[in-house]
């Protein structure tokens, strides 16, 4: 048994390592050809790609993707715009108030978004707003909690030394507090965007007439197996792209932190 | 120094340590603010004692103030017409609905069904993922390296987009719900187990080896305790995801359970019942989370003691 920290296979990935994915696709391609139940329910990657190509060419896919991304980013943006300033206020300026409302916020954060969806539908109708509200609801909690934790976790020594050097409040905020809290905020944003995309598909499956979730749902109802697989693939790929984009942004924005750690 | 003086010093120390928390009593009105001078009279001493008791009480109750205000607002706002009673029924009507459902026995049934589904999926996922994680992380690191991109891809797939596929394969029965919960909690537990096993300090393993421990002892005494915190993180994530997926699964296709209760009451426009189900789901999710935390504390505390000894 060999286990070591430096050589953790889990963290590495090179081209050769991707061979398992190629193998998986090969099996997926061949399995439906064996016939039987698999033939009916499994669409091979070639058929999925063909369907994807058709959807791409008639512009349908583009429409669904833009609608879905629009909803997700609307909910996410509103949540971030409310949660980050609120987190700064609760974590920094009104600490004792934060102590009192924290259990309430934790409880609200636990409220299952699916059980709220009927309420949102009742309040806003089966409209865009109810879907955006659901995404907003799942995004706001991780961003808020992580911002509060990030702001509370700032080393008081940093603030005091900046103060003693005669810094003014706005400069203190932009030069000390914001950078020191940004890792926490970023964790929240990353978690929020992940759940936003996750919930988006669910919301679109429950009540929508466009979007990727609807595409999955519609394909299942009409028993269009290749389209069902195609939509699943598009959703997975989009999720992966979103994730790696955020990681890239994090490395770009918070690169100084990693550099400081390495020294 | 007399005994009472030393008590006073302790009291004052506590007062300053607690900051402004202790200068307010339960009703929120400022009580007598303590001074830092050592009181010499007995009456002052008593008042300090009272303040200390109040402040300790206050600190304990701190977690509940916000909740209490929320609950009171929830009861009063619809009654006073601040918000639409149709959409936000007062708390008492939700409780009335709850007791009605408890009396005819349906509520217990729904809760039991939901919990049973969650635990079935979660326990089966743990039973598969933890041994698999140990085998992959500990015994076959090369094979794990080969598999890891594929496993990560599977873990990344949105569970909702797989839902129709599961329904296609297994029908709208219990099996589809079980498999979706199983699938969505399998990945976090598997990933954290593999990471946990691989993060066990190799020095510990070499040490145990050099002292002649066999495979079984190595596993029980070194690997398992070392990987346990990481595994628990996975189980906690898995339980949260399982509960989320459960409600979704029950809303899409079921005839019992809390998710179905939400859907059914929204279709039939039974608003208090809808709130009742939503509240119960949130409470159950919290309880699930806390009980895993508790279990974690119980097991990992033992590990720390072992380390010290």
pLDDT in tens, B12-59: 444 444 444 444 444 444 444 444 455 456 677 788 888 888 888 877
| DSSP string over A113-165 | HHHHHHHHHHHH-SSHHHHHHHHHHHHHHHHHHHHHHHHHTS-HHHHHHHHHT
Shortest CA distance from A113: residue in chain B: B244
The better pLDDT of the pair A155, A39 is held by: A155
| Number of domains forming the structure of chain A | 1
Shortest CA distance from A219: residue in chain B: B164
The reply to whether A102 touches chain B by the CB within 8 Å rule is yes
Mean pLDDT of B122-135: 92
* pLDDT given for residue A7 in this prediction: 43
* pLDDT given for residue B78 in this prediction: 81
The boundaries of the domain holding residue A130 are 45-262
Do A179 and A78 form a contact (C-beta atoms < 8 A)? no
Is the pLDDT confidence value at A87 over 60? yes
Within-domain flag for A119: yes
In chain B, what residues touch A106 (CB-CB under 8 Å)? 286
Mean pLDDT of B290-294: 89
Shortest CA distance from A21: residue in chain B: B150
Q: What's the CA gap between A252 and A241, in Å, rounded?
A: 16
Within-domain flag for A34: no
CA B179 to chain centre: 23
Q: What's the CA gap between A124 and A126, in Å, rounded?
A: 7
Helix-then-strand count for chain A, H and E: 13, 0
Measured CA to CA in angstroms, residue B73 lies from A197, B70, B82, B274 at distances of: 33, 5, 10, 19
Shortest CA distance from B68: residue in chain A: A104
Compute the nearest-CA separation of B40 from chain A (Å).
32
The reply to whether A243 touches chain B by the CB within 8 Å rule is yes
* Cβ <8 Å between A107 and B247: no
* Cβ <8 Å between B247 and A118: no
Compute the nearest-CA separation of B43 from chain A (Å).
30
Nearest to A9 among B144, B161, B271 (CB): B144
CA atoms lying within 13 Å on the CB side of residue B149: 15
The reply to whether A224 touches chain B by the CB within 8 Å rule is no
Nearest to A13 among B66, B149, B285 (CB): B149
* pLDDT given for residue A257 in this prediction: 64
Compute the nearest-CA separation of B247 from chain A (Å).
7
The reply to whether A173 touches chain B by the CB within 8 Å rule is no
Mean pLDDT of B280-293: 88
* pLDDT given for residue B51 in this prediction: 85
* pLDDT given for residue B80 in this prediction: 82
Q: What's the CA gap between B187 and B192, in Å, rounded?
A: 8
Residue that the structure tokens 């990987």 belong to: B227
Is the pLDDT confidence value at A78 over 90? yes
Do B63 and B33 form a contact (C-beta atoms < 8 A)? no
Residues B136-191 have pLDDT tens digits of 887 887 788 888 878 888 887 878 888 888 887 887 778 888 988 999 899 999 99
* pLDDT given for residue A86 in this prediction: 92
Do B285 and B236 form a contact (C-beta atoms < 8 A)? no
* Cβ <8 Å between B278 and A232: no
* pLDDT given for residue A130 in this prediction: 86
In chain B, what residues touch A231 (CB-CB under 8 Å)? 161
* Cβ <8 Å between B169 and A41: yes
Query: Which of B156, B244, B168, B186 is closest to A233 using CA atoms?
Result: B156
* pLDDT given for residue A144 in this prediction: 93
In chain B, what residues touch A20 (CB-CB under 8 Å)? 146-150
Give me the count of residues in chain B: 309
| DSSP string over chain B | --HHHHHHHHHHHHHHHHGGGGGB-TTS-B-PPPPSSPP-SHHHHHHHHHHHHHHHHHHHHHHHHHHHHHHHHHHHHHHTTSS-TTTS--HHHHHHHHHHHHHTTHHHHHHHHHHHHHHHHHHHHHHHHHHHHHIIIII-HHHHHHHHHHHHHHHHS-HHHHHHHHHHHH-SSHHHHHHHHHHHHHHHHHHHHHHHHHTS-HHHHHHHHHTT--HHHIIIIIIHHHHHHHHHHHHHHHHHHHHHHHHHHHHHS-SSSHHHHHHHHHHTT-HHHHHHHHHHHHHHHHHHHHHHHHHHHHHHHHHHHHHH-
* pLDDT given for residue B301 in this prediction: 67
The reply to whether A9 touches chain B by the CB within 8 Å rule is yes
Residues B203-220 have pLDDT tens digits of 888 888 888 888 888 888
CB pairs under 8 A between A and B: 173
Compute the nearest-CA separation of A27 from chain B (Å).
13
Interface of A with B in 193-212 (CB under 8 A): 197-198, 201-202, 205-206, 212
CATH number at residue A240: 1.10.3720.10
Within-domain flag for A92: yes
In chain B, what residues touch A123 (CB-CB under 8 Å)? 87
Residues A177-231 have pLDDT tens digits of 888 888 888 889 888 888 888 888 888 887 778 888 888 888 888 888 888 888 8
Interface of A with B in 22-81 (CB under 8 A): 23-24, 41
Nearest to A115 among B153, B160, B281 (CB): B281
Compute the nearest-CA separation of A173 from chain B (Å).
25
Q: Which residues pair with B24 in a beta bridge?
A: B30
The reply to whether A213 touches chain B by the CB within 8 Å rule is yes
Is the pLDDT confidence value at B306 over 80? no
Residues A133-177 have pLDDT tens digits of 889 999 999 999 999 998 988 888 888 898 898 888 888 888 888
The domains located in chain B, with CATH, are: 3-79 (no CATH), 95-308 (1.10.3720.10)
CA angle A65, A68, A74 (to 5 degrees): 130
Do A109 and A138 form a contact (C-beta atoms < 8 A)? no
- Looking at every residue in chain B, the average pLDDT score rounds to 79
Token duo for residue A258: 């990693």
Measured CA to CA in angstroms, residue A24 lies from A31, A45, A50, A174, A193 at distances of: 10, 11, 19, 49, 28
For chain B, give the percent of residues with pLDDT over 70: 83
Is the pLDDT confidence value at A262 over 50? no
Nearest to A228 among B164, B205, B274 (CB): B164
* Cβ <8 Å between B158 and A235: yes
Q: What's the CA gap between A152 and A149, in Å, rounded?
A: 5
Measured CA to CA in angstroms, residue B263 lies from B252, B284, B287 at distances of: 9, 18, 22
- Find the farthest-apart pair of alpha carbons in chain B and give their distance in angstroms, rounded: 81
Most trustworthy range by pLDDT among A16-30, A37-51, A109-123, B234-248? B234-248
* pLDDT given for residue B309 in this prediction: 42
* pLDDT given for residue A209 in this prediction: 80
Q: What's the CA gap between B21 and A158, in Å, rounded?
A: 25
The reply to whether A116 touches chain B by the CB within 8 Å rule is yes
* Cβ <8 Å between B137 and A21: no
Compute the nearest-CA separation of B73 from chain A (Å).
13
Compute the nearest-CA separation of B284 from chain A (Å).
9
* pLDDT given for residue B40 in this prediction: 54
* Cβ <8 Å between A243 and B156: yes
Within-domain flag for A258: yes
In chain B, what residues touch A24 (CB-CB under 8 Å)? 150, 153
| DSSP string over B216-238 | HHIIIIIIHHHHHHHHHHHHHHH
Query: Which of B166, B241, B236, B53 is closest to A41 using CA atoms?
Result: B166
* Cβ <8 Å between B145 and A9: yes
Within-domain flag for A9: no
Query: Which of A41, A25, A184, A179 is closest to B164 using CA atoms?
Result: A41
- Residues near B181 by beta carbon (within 8 Å), at least 6 away in sequence: B117, B118, B120, B121, B122, B125, B242, B245, B246, B249
* pLDDT given for residue A256 in this prediction: 67
Burial label for B210, CB within 10 Å (0-12, 13-18, 19+), is exposed
Within-domain flag for A21: no
Within-domain flag for A229: yes
| ipTM of the complex as predicted | 0.75
* Cβ <8 Å between A103 and B64: yes
Within-domain flag for A112: yes
Q: Give chain B's radius of gyration (CA, Å).
A: 27
In chain B, what residues touch A96 (CB-CB under 8 Å)? 20-21
């Amino acid at each position: 048994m060999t286990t070591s920290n430096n050589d953790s296979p889990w963290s590495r990935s090179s081209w050769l390592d991707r061979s398992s994915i190629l193998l998986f696709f090969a099996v997926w391609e061949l399995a439906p050809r064996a016939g039987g139940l698999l033939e009916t329910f499994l669409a091979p990657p070639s058929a999925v790609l063909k369907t994807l190509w058709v959807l791409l060419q008639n512009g349908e896919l583009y429409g669904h993707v833009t609608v879905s991304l629009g909803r997700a980013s609307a909910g996410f943006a509103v949540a971030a715009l409310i949660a980050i300033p609120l987190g700064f206020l609760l974590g920094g300026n009104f600490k004792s108030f934060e102590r009192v409302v924290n259990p309430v916020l934790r409880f609200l954060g636990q409220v299952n978004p699916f059980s709220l969806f009927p309420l949102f539908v009742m309040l806003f109708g089966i409209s865009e707003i109810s879907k955006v509200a659901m995404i907003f609801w799942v995004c706001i909690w991780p961003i808020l909690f992580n911002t509060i934790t990030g702001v509370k976790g700032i080393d008081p020594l940093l603030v005091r030394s900046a103060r003693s050097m005669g810094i003014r409040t706005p400069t203190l905020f932009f030069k000390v507090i914001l950078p020191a809290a940004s890792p926490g905020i970023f964790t929240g944003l990353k978690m929020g965007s992940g759940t936003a995309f996750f919930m988006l598909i669910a919301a679109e499956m429950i009540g929508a007439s466009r979007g990727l979730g609807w595409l999955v749902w519609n394909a299942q109802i009409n028993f269009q197996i290749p389209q069902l697989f195609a939509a699943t693939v598009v959703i997975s790929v989009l999720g992966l792209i979103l994730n790696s984009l955020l990681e890239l942004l994090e490395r770009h924005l918070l690169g100084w932190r990693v550099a400081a750690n390495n020294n | 120094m007399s005994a009472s003086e030393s008590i006073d010093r302790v009291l004052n120390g506590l007062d300053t340590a607690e900051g402004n928390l202790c200068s307010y009593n339960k009703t929120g009105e400022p009580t007598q603010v303590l001074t830092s001078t050592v009181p010499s009279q007995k009456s002052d001493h008593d008042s300090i004692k009272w303040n200390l008791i109040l402040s300790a009480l206050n600190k304990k109750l701190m977690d509940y103030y916000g909740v209490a205000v929320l609950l009171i607002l929830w009861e009063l706002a619809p009654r006073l017409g601040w918000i639409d009673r149709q959409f936000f029924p007062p708390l008492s009507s939700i409780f009335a609905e709850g007791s009605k459902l408890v009396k005819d026995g349906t509520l217990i049934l729904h809760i039991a069904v939901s919990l049973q589904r969650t635990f079935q999926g979660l326990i089966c996922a743990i039973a598969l993922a933890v041994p698999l994680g140990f085998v992959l992380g500990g015994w076959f690191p090369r094979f794990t390296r080969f598999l890891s991109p594929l496993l990560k891809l599977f873990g990344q797939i949105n569970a909702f987009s797989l839902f129709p596929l599961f329904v296609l394969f297994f029908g709208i029965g219990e099996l589809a719900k079980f498999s979706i919960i199983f699938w969505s909690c399998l990945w976090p537990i598997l990933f954290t187990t593999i990471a946990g096993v691989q993060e066990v300090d190799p020095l510990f393993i070499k040490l145990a080896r050099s002292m002649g421990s066999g495979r079984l002892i190595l596993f029980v005494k070194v690997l398992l305790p070392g990987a346990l915190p990481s595994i628990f993180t996975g189980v906690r994530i898995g339980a949260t995801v399982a509960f989320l997926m459960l409600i979704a699964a029950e809303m899409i296709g079921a005839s019992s359970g809390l998710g179905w209760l939400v859907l059914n009451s929204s279709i039939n426009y039974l608003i208090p019942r809808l709130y009742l189900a939503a509240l119960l789901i949130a409470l159950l999710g919290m309880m699930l989370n806390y009980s895993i935390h508790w279990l974690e504390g119980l097991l990992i505390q033992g590990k720390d003691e072992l380390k010290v000894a």
